[in-house]
Structure 1
Amino acid sequence: MTGQSKSLFKNRLLRALSPADLGLLAPSLESVQLSLRQSLETAHQPIDLVYFLESGLGSVVARKEGGTTVEVGLFGRDGMTGTSLALGDTESPFDCFTQMDGSAMRISADNLRKAMSKSAAVTDLLMHYARALGIQTTYTALANGQIKLEERLARWILMVDDRVDHGRFLSPMSFLQ
Protein backbone atom coordinates (compact mmCIF):
# COMPACT_ATOMS: atom_id res chain seq x y z
CA MET A 1 0.00 0.00 0.00
CA THR A 2 1.55 3.29 -1.06
CA GLY A 3 1.43 6.70 0.59
CA GLN A 4 -1.00 7.65 -2.17
CA SER A 5 -3.36 4.87 -1.01
CA LYS A 6 -3.09 6.15 2.55
CA SER A 7 -4.18 9.58 1.39
CA LEU A 8 -7.48 8.09 0.23
CA PHE A 9 -8.53 7.90 3.87
CA LYS A 10 -9.69 10.94 5.84
CA ASN A 11 -9.77 9.10 9.16
CA ARG A 12 -6.73 10.13 11.21
CA LEU A 13 -6.26 6.71 12.80
CA LEU A 14 -6.13 4.97 9.42
CA ARG A 15 -3.79 7.67 8.10
CA ALA A 16 -1.46 7.19 11.08
CA LEU A 17 -0.81 3.54 10.22
CA SER A 18 2.27 2.44 8.30
CA PRO A 19 1.59 1.09 4.81
CA ALA A 20 2.20 -2.46 6.07
CA ASP A 21 -0.21 -2.06 9.00
CA LEU A 22 -2.82 -0.36 6.85
CA GLY A 23 -2.44 -3.30 4.48
CA LEU A 24 -3.70 -5.58 7.24
CA LEU A 25 -6.95 -3.60 7.47
CA ALA A 26 -7.52 -2.25 3.96
CA PRO A 27 -8.80 -5.46 2.30
CA SER A 28 -11.53 -5.69 4.96
CA LEU A 29 -12.54 -2.02 5.02
CA GLU A 30 -15.83 -1.08 3.41
CA SER A 31 -16.96 2.48 2.68
CA VAL A 32 -20.43 3.21 4.10
CA GLN A 33 -22.71 6.21 4.38
CA LEU A 34 -24.02 7.07 7.84
CA SER A 35 -27.39 8.67 8.45
CA LEU A 36 -28.39 10.96 11.30
CA ARG A 37 -29.01 9.05 14.55
CA GLN A 38 -27.77 5.76 13.08
CA SER A 39 -26.88 3.31 15.83
CA LEU A 40 -23.21 2.28 15.69
CA GLU A 41 -22.98 0.39 19.01
CA THR A 42 -25.51 -0.71 21.58
CA ALA A 43 -24.49 -0.89 25.22
CA HIS A 44 -23.95 -4.39 26.59
CA GLN A 45 -24.34 -6.00 23.17
CA PRO A 46 -21.55 -7.67 21.19
CA ILE A 47 -19.62 -5.33 18.90
CA ASP A 48 -19.89 -6.79 15.40
CA LEU A 49 -18.72 -3.82 13.32
CA VAL A 50 -16.22 -1.03 13.89
CA TYR A 51 -16.56 2.34 12.16
CA PHE A 52 -13.65 4.69 11.40
CA LEU A 53 -15.43 7.96 10.67
CA GLU A 54 -14.35 9.80 7.53
CA SER A 55 -16.89 12.60 8.04
CA GLY A 56 -19.80 13.32 10.32
CA LEU A 57 -19.95 13.12 14.09
CA GLY A 58 -20.31 10.22 16.48
CA SER A 59 -21.73 10.50 19.98
CA VAL A 60 -20.92 8.18 22.89
CA VAL A 61 -23.85 8.06 25.33
CA ALA A 62 -24.20 6.57 28.80
CA ARG A 63 -27.68 5.34 29.66
CA LYS A 64 -29.14 4.99 33.13
CA GLU A 65 -31.85 2.48 33.93
CA GLY A 66 -35.13 4.19 33.25
CA GLY A 67 -33.92 5.77 30.02
CA THR A 68 -32.00 8.87 31.14
CA THR A 69 -29.00 9.46 28.86
CA VAL A 70 -26.00 11.75 28.86
CA GLU A 71 -23.40 12.28 26.17
CA VAL A 72 -19.97 11.34 27.48
CA GLY A 73 -17.87 11.52 24.32
CA LEU A 74 -17.64 12.76 20.75
CA PHE A 75 -15.58 11.66 17.80
CA GLY A 76 -15.28 12.43 14.12
CA ARG A 77 -12.59 11.65 11.60
CA ASP A 78 -10.19 11.58 14.57
CA GLY A 79 -11.69 8.36 15.92
CA MET A 80 -13.60 5.15 15.76
CA THR A 81 -16.18 2.99 17.43
CA GLY A 82 -15.22 -0.30 19.03
CA THR A 83 -12.66 1.02 21.50
CA SER A 84 -13.67 -1.79 23.86
CA LEU A 85 -12.26 -4.24 21.30
CA ALA A 86 -8.90 -2.48 21.45
CA LEU A 87 -8.97 -3.05 25.20
CA GLY A 88 -9.75 -6.75 24.85
CA ASP A 89 -13.50 -6.69 25.51
CA THR A 90 -16.31 -7.75 23.18
CA GLU A 91 -19.00 -5.20 24.05
CA SER A 92 -19.24 -1.55 24.93
CA PRO A 93 -20.65 -0.11 28.14
CA PHE A 94 -22.08 2.78 26.06
CA ASP A 95 -24.41 3.42 23.18
CA CYS A 96 -22.92 5.11 20.15
CA PHE A 97 -24.79 6.79 17.31
CA THR A 98 -24.27 9.41 14.62
CA GLN A 99 -25.08 12.92 15.67
CA MET A 100 -24.25 14.27 12.21
CA ASP A 101 -24.54 12.19 9.05
CA GLY A 102 -21.41 11.36 7.14
CA SER A 103 -19.32 8.45 5.96
CA ALA A 104 -17.06 5.84 7.47
CA MET A 105 -14.79 2.96 6.70
CA ARG A 106 -16.31 -0.13 8.32
CA ILE A 107 -14.62 -3.38 9.31
CA SER A 108 -15.89 -6.46 11.10
CA ALA A 109 -14.80 -6.89 14.71
CA ASP A 110 -13.28 -10.27 13.78
CA ASN A 111 -11.14 -8.76 11.02
CA LEU A 112 -10.02 -5.93 13.29
CA ARG A 113 -9.01 -8.42 15.98
CA LYS A 114 -7.06 -10.44 13.38
CA ALA A 115 -5.15 -7.34 12.31
CA MET A 116 -4.45 -6.46 15.94
CA SER A 117 -3.13 -9.97 16.58
CA LYS A 118 -0.69 -9.57 13.68
CA SER A 119 0.54 -6.07 14.51
CA ALA A 120 1.57 -4.56 17.83
CA ALA A 121 1.55 -1.14 16.14
CA VAL A 122 -2.14 -1.44 15.18
CA THR A 123 -2.97 -2.58 18.72
CA ASP A 124 -0.93 0.23 20.30
CA LEU A 125 -2.53 2.92 18.12
CA LEU A 126 -6.06 1.73 18.90
CA MET A 127 -5.29 1.39 22.62
CA HIS A 128 -3.87 4.93 22.69
CA TYR A 129 -7.04 6.19 21.02
CA ALA A 130 -9.19 4.26 23.52
CA ARG A 131 -7.21 5.89 26.35
CA ALA A 132 -7.67 9.35 24.83
CA LEU A 133 -11.42 8.79 24.48
CA GLY A 134 -11.49 7.61 28.09
CA ILE A 135 -9.79 10.83 29.18
CA GLN A 136 -12.30 12.84 27.14
CA THR A 137 -15.12 10.91 28.84
CA THR A 138 -13.70 11.73 32.27
CA TYR A 139 -13.40 15.45 31.55
CA THR A 140 -16.88 15.49 30.01
CA ALA A 141 -18.27 14.00 33.23
CA LEU A 142 -16.35 16.59 35.25
CA ALA A 143 -17.68 19.40 33.06
CA ASN A 144 -21.24 18.09 33.27
CA GLY A 145 -21.06 18.05 37.05
CA GLN A 146 -19.09 21.21 37.72
CA ILE A 147 -19.67 23.93 35.14
CA LYS A 148 -22.63 26.03 34.07
CA LEU A 149 -24.81 25.12 31.11
CA GLU A 150 -23.45 27.99 28.98
CA GLU A 151 -19.87 26.84 29.55
CA ARG A 152 -20.78 23.23 28.74
CA LEU A 153 -22.42 24.37 25.50
CA ALA A 154 -19.33 26.40 24.57
CA ARG A 155 -17.13 23.36 25.29
CA TRP A 156 -19.39 21.14 23.19
CA ILE A 157 -19.37 23.59 20.27
CA LEU A 158 -15.56 23.73 20.32
CA MET A 159 -15.32 19.93 20.47
CA VAL A 160 -17.68 19.57 17.50
CA ASP A 161 -15.79 22.23 15.55
CA ASP A 162 -12.56 20.25 16.09
CA ARG A 163 -14.17 17.15 14.58
CA VAL A 164 -16.05 18.35 11.50
CA ASP A 165 -14.76 19.67 8.19
CA HIS A 166 -17.52 22.05 7.29
CA GLY A 167 -16.37 25.09 9.27
CA ARG A 168 -19.97 25.28 10.42
CA PHE A 169 -22.51 22.81 11.70
CA LEU A 170 -26.17 22.54 12.49
CA SER A 171 -27.53 24.35 15.50
CA PRO A 172 -27.27 22.33 18.72
CA MET A 173 -31.04 22.64 18.91
CA SER A 174 -31.41 20.59 15.70
CA PHE A 175 -29.92 17.59 17.52
CA LEU A 176 -32.66 17.76 20.14
CA GLN A 177 -35.50 17.44 17.64
Structure 2
Amino acid sequence: MNKNSLIELLPKQIQELIFYKGELIDLTLSKIICVVDEPIEYIHFPVDGFISLVQSLDQHPPLEIGMIGREGVLGAEIALDIQNNLFGALVQGSGNSWRLEKNDFLEIIKTHIELKNIILSYMAVRIKQLSLSAACEHFHEIGPRLAKWLLMSEDRAQSTTFLMTHEFISLMLGVRRVGITTAAAEFRRNGLIEYRRGEMQILNRPALMAASCSCYLQNRKIYSTFIG
Protein backbone atom coordinates (compact mmCIF):
# COMPACT_ATOMS: atom_id res chain seq x y z
CA MET A 1 0.00 0.00 0.00
CA ASN A 2 1.26 3.49 -0.86
CA LYS A 3 2.46 5.39 2.20
CA ASN A 4 3.66 8.75 3.35
CA SER A 5 6.96 8.83 5.29
CA LEU A 6 5.35 10.28 8.43
CA ILE A 7 2.64 7.62 8.36
CA GLU A 8 5.32 4.94 8.01
CA LEU A 9 6.82 6.06 11.35
CA LEU A 10 3.57 5.30 13.18
CA PRO A 11 2.53 1.98 14.76
CA LYS A 12 0.68 -0.28 12.35
CA GLN A 13 -2.60 0.15 14.23
CA ILE A 14 -2.56 3.93 13.66
CA GLN A 15 -1.50 3.53 10.04
CA GLU A 16 -4.47 1.27 9.39
CA LEU A 17 -6.79 3.75 11.11
CA ILE A 18 -5.56 6.57 8.89
CA PHE A 19 -6.06 4.45 5.77
CA TYR A 20 -9.56 3.43 6.98
CA LYS A 21 -10.63 7.00 7.76
CA GLY A 22 -8.79 8.56 4.84
CA GLU A 23 -9.09 8.51 1.08
CA LEU A 24 -6.32 8.14 -1.50
CA ILE A 25 -6.94 10.98 -3.94
CA ASP A 26 -5.32 12.23 -7.11
CA LEU A 27 -3.22 15.38 -6.98
CA THR A 28 -3.78 17.15 -10.29
CA LEU A 29 -1.00 19.41 -11.55
CA SER A 30 -1.59 23.11 -10.70
CA LYS A 31 -4.77 22.37 -8.71
CA ILE A 32 -5.33 24.71 -5.76
CA ILE A 33 -5.54 22.59 -2.60
CA CYS A 34 -6.30 25.33 -0.11
CA VAL A 35 -6.58 29.12 0.08
CA VAL A 36 -4.96 31.23 2.79
CA ASP A 37 -7.29 32.30 5.63
CA GLU A 38 -10.08 29.98 4.49
CA PRO A 39 -11.19 27.21 6.91
CA ILE A 40 -9.11 24.03 7.01
CA GLU A 41 -11.25 21.19 5.69
CA TYR A 42 -8.78 18.39 4.97
CA ILE A 43 -5.39 17.12 6.06
CA HIS A 44 -3.15 15.82 3.26
CA PHE A 45 -0.37 13.24 3.51
CA PRO A 46 1.21 13.23 0.01
CA VAL A 47 2.48 9.91 -1.30
CA ASP A 48 4.10 10.51 -4.69
CA GLY A 49 2.86 13.96 -5.59
CA PHE A 50 4.05 17.21 -4.09
CA ILE A 51 2.55 20.50 -3.05
CA SER A 52 3.84 24.09 -3.03
CA LEU A 53 3.05 26.36 -0.09
CA VAL A 54 2.52 29.86 -1.44
CA GLN A 55 2.15 33.34 0.01
CA SER A 56 0.86 36.47 -1.70
CA LEU A 57 1.73 40.06 -0.83
CA ASP A 58 -0.24 43.09 -2.05
CA GLN A 59 -0.80 42.71 -5.81
CA HIS A 60 2.21 40.47 -6.44
CA PRO A 61 1.83 36.89 -7.76
CA PRO A 62 2.01 34.07 -5.19
CA LEU A 63 5.53 33.13 -4.10
CA GLU A 64 6.54 29.62 -3.05
CA ILE A 65 7.75 29.53 0.56
CA GLY A 66 7.84 25.78 1.05
CA MET A 67 7.33 22.38 -0.53
CA ILE A 68 5.58 19.29 0.85
CA GLY A 69 5.99 15.78 -0.50
CA ARG A 70 5.80 12.32 0.99
CA GLU A 71 8.02 13.49 3.86
CA GLY A 72 5.35 15.82 5.22
CA VAL A 73 1.74 16.79 5.81
CA LEU A 74 -0.45 19.72 4.78
CA GLY A 75 -2.84 21.19 7.35
CA ALA A 76 -0.92 20.09 10.45
CA GLU A 77 -1.63 23.41 12.19
CA ILE A 78 -5.14 22.19 12.98
CA ALA A 79 -3.46 20.24 15.81
CA LEU A 80 -2.84 23.62 17.50
CA ASP A 81 -6.52 24.57 17.13
CA ILE A 82 -5.73 26.88 14.22
CA GLN A 83 -8.89 26.75 12.17
CA ASN A 84 -7.86 28.59 8.99
CA ASN A 85 -5.13 27.87 6.44
CA LEU A 86 -1.92 29.73 7.20
CA PHE A 87 -0.77 29.48 3.56
CA GLY A 88 -2.16 28.83 0.15
CA ALA A 89 -1.23 25.52 -1.47
CA LEU A 90 -1.23 24.18 -5.01
CA VAL A 91 -0.11 20.95 -6.65
CA GLN A 92 3.40 21.27 -8.04
CA GLY A 93 3.81 17.61 -9.00
CA SER A 94 0.93 15.29 -9.85
CA GLY A 95 0.50 12.07 -7.92
CA ASN A 96 -1.50 10.80 -4.95
CA SER A 97 -2.20 11.84 -1.40
CA TRP A 98 -3.98 10.41 1.61
CA ARG A 99 -6.69 12.89 2.58
CA LEU A 100 -8.50 12.96 5.92
CA GLU A 101 -11.40 15.13 6.96
CA LYS A 102 -10.45 17.58 9.69
CA ASN A 103 -12.64 16.01 12.39
CA ASP A 104 -11.38 12.49 11.68
CA PHE A 105 -7.79 13.70 11.93
CA LEU A 106 -8.46 15.50 15.22
CA GLU A 107 -10.15 12.42 16.66
CA ILE A 108 -7.14 10.23 15.84
CA ILE A 109 -4.74 12.78 17.33
CA LYS A 110 -6.81 13.01 20.50
CA THR A 111 -6.66 9.28 21.11
CA HIS A 112 -3.18 8.46 19.76
CA ILE A 113 -0.28 10.42 21.21
CA GLU A 114 2.15 8.90 18.67
CA LEU A 115 0.46 10.76 15.81
CA LYS A 116 0.33 14.00 17.79
CA ASN A 117 4.05 13.79 18.56
CA ILE A 118 4.92 13.19 14.88
CA ILE A 119 2.74 16.13 13.82
CA LEU A 120 4.31 18.48 16.37
CA SER A 121 7.80 17.41 15.30
CA TYR A 122 6.92 18.08 11.67
CA MET A 123 5.56 21.51 12.55
CA ALA A 124 8.91 22.34 14.16
CA VAL A 125 10.57 21.26 10.89
CA ARG A 126 8.23 23.47 8.88
CA ILE A 127 8.89 26.54 11.06
CA LYS A 128 12.66 26.08 10.78
CA GLN A 129 12.50 25.49 7.02
CA LEU A 130 10.30 28.55 6.46
CA SER A 131 12.86 30.77 8.19
CA LEU A 132 15.62 29.23 6.09
CA SER A 133 13.59 29.86 2.93
CA ALA A 134 13.31 33.56 3.76
CA ALA A 135 17.08 33.86 4.22
CA CYS A 136 17.77 31.85 1.06
CA GLU A 137 15.58 34.13 -1.06
CA HIS A 138 17.43 37.18 0.24
CA PHE A 139 21.05 36.02 0.13
CA HIS A 140 21.40 33.35 -2.58
CA GLU A 141 21.57 33.87 -6.33
CA ILE A 142 19.13 32.45 -8.88
CA GLY A 143 21.36 29.61 -10.17
CA PRO A 144 22.03 27.97 -6.77
CA ARG A 145 18.41 28.48 -5.74
CA LEU A 146 17.22 26.85 -8.96
CA ALA A 147 19.53 23.87 -8.38
CA LYS A 148 18.18 23.50 -4.83
CA TRP A 149 14.61 23.71 -6.07
CA LEU A 150 15.16 21.08 -8.77
CA LEU A 151 16.74 18.71 -6.26
CA MET A 152 13.84 19.18 -3.84
CA SER A 153 11.38 18.53 -6.66
CA GLU A 154 13.22 15.38 -7.73
CA ASP A 155 13.21 14.07 -4.16
CA ARG A 156 9.46 14.49 -3.89
CA ALA A 157 8.64 13.29 -7.39
CA GLN A 158 10.74 10.19 -6.65
CA SER A 159 11.82 10.37 -10.27
CA THR A 160 14.55 12.07 -12.27
CA THR A 161 11.88 13.30 -14.70
CA PHE A 162 8.93 15.52 -13.83
CA LEU A 163 6.66 18.09 -15.47
CA MET A 164 7.84 21.67 -14.98
CA THR A 165 7.98 24.86 -17.04
CA HIS A 166 10.35 27.81 -16.72
CA GLU A 167 7.35 30.07 -16.25
CA PHE A 168 6.11 28.06 -13.28
CA ILE A 169 9.58 27.91 -11.71
CA SER A 170 10.04 31.69 -12.08
CA LEU A 171 6.66 32.23 -10.41
CA MET A 172 7.50 29.93 -7.51
CA LEU A 173 10.96 31.43 -6.96
CA GLY A 174 9.73 34.99 -7.37
CA VAL A 175 12.20 35.93 -10.12
CA ARG A 176 11.93 36.97 -13.76
CA ARG A 177 11.54 34.14 -16.24
CA VAL A 178 14.66 35.23 -18.13
CA GLY A 179 16.72 34.56 -15.00
CA ILE A 180 15.43 30.98 -14.79
CA THR A 181 15.94 30.46 -18.53
CA THR A 182 19.55 31.67 -18.31
CA ALA A 183 20.41 29.52 -15.29
CA ALA A 184 18.65 26.45 -16.71
CA ALA A 185 20.45 26.87 -20.05
CA GLU A 186 23.80 26.85 -18.26
CA PHE A 187 22.88 23.70 -16.35
CA ARG A 188 21.84 22.15 -19.65
CA ARG A 189 25.09 23.05 -21.40
CA ASN A 190 27.03 21.48 -18.54
CA GLY A 191 25.02 18.26 -18.74
CA LEU A 192 23.23 18.65 -15.40
CA ILE A 193 19.68 18.73 -16.72
CA GLU A 194 17.61 18.37 -19.88
CA TYR A 195 14.23 19.90 -20.59
CA ARG A 196 11.68 19.94 -23.40
CA ARG A 197 8.00 20.76 -23.74
CA GLY A 198 7.45 21.34 -20.04
CA GLU A 199 9.34 18.21 -18.94
CA MET A 200 12.42 18.51 -16.73
CA GLN A 201 15.01 15.74 -16.36
CA ILE A 202 17.90 15.55 -13.90
CA LEU A 203 20.94 14.04 -15.64
CA ASN A 204 23.73 14.61 -13.11
CA ARG A 205 22.49 14.79 -9.53
CA PRO A 206 25.96 15.08 -7.88
CA ALA A 207 26.86 18.03 -10.11
CA LEU A 208 23.50 19.66 -9.44
CA MET A 209 24.09 19.27 -5.71
CA ALA A 210 27.47 20.94 -6.12
CA ALA A 211 25.77 23.83 -7.92
CA SER A 212 23.05 24.15 -5.28
CA CYS A 213 23.09 26.62 -2.43
CA SER A 214 23.73 25.28 1.08
CA CYS A 215 20.01 25.36 1.88
CA TYR A 216 19.34 22.03 0.16
CA LEU A 217 21.47 20.10 2.64
CA GLN A 218 20.36 22.37 5.47
CA ASN A 219 16.73 21.44 4.79
CA ARG A 220 17.57 17.75 4.91
CA LYS A 221 19.51 18.24 8.15
CA ILE A 222 16.58 20.07 9.75
CA TYR A 223 14.27 17.19 8.89
CA SER A 224 16.61 14.49 10.19
CA THR A 225 17.22 16.44 13.41
CA PHE A 226 13.55 16.65 14.35
CA ILE A 227 12.16 13.49 12.76
CA GLY A 228 15.07 11.20 11.84
- After TM superposition, the score normalised by the length of structure 1 is 0.88
Which of 62, 67, 71 pairs up with 1:74? 67
Which of 11, 19, 32 pairs up with 1:39? 32
Give the SS at the match of 1:46: coil
**RMSD of aligned residue pairs (Cα, Å):** 1.7
Alpha-carbon separation, structure 2, partners of 1:32 and 1:57: 13
Deviates more, 1:65-74 or 1:136-145: 65-74
What code does the residue aligned with 1:104 have?
S
Any unmatched runs of 5+ in structure 1?
A: 1-7
Which of 47, 51, 57 pairs up with 1:54? 47
Q: How far 1:111 moved relative to its partner?
A: 0.4
Q: How far 1:80 moved relative to its partner?
A: 1.6
Q: How far 1:18 moved relative to its partner?
A: 0.4
Which of 124, 128, 135 pairs up with 2:128? 135
Alpha-carbon separation, structure 2, partners of 1:174 and 1:104: 25
Are the equivalent residues in 1 in contact too, given 2:93–2:157 (CA < 8 A)?
A: no
Deviating 4+ runs (over 6 angstroms): none
Pair 1:173 & 2:171 matched: no
Alpha-carbon separation, structure 1, partners of 2:40 and 2:17: 20
Pair 1:151 & 2:144 matched: yes
Any unmatched runs of 5+ in structure 2?
A: 170-197, 199-228
Are the equivalent residues in 2 in contact too, given 1:62–1:93 (CA < 8 A)?
A: no
Give the SS at the match of 1:81: coil
What is the match of residue 223 of structure 2? none
Are the equivalent residues in 2 in contact too, given 1:59–1:99 (CA < 8 A)?
A: yes
Higher Rg:
2
CA offset digits 1:14-34 (Å, max 9, x no partner): 111101222432221111111
What is the match of residue 18 of structure 1? 11
What is the match of residue 3 of structure 1? none
Which of 150, 154, 170 pairs up with 1:161? 154
Alpha-carbon separation, structure 1, partners of 2:160 and 2:61: 31
Are the equivalent residues in 1 in contact too, given 2:35–2:88 (CA < 8 A)?
A: yes
Pair 1:117 & 2:110 matched: yes
Q: How far 1:57 moved relative to its partner?
A: 1.5
Deviates more, 1:109-118 or 1:16-25: 16-25
Are the equivalent residues in 1 in contact too, given 2:19–2:98 (CA < 8 A)?
A: no
What is the match of residue 81 of structure 2? 88
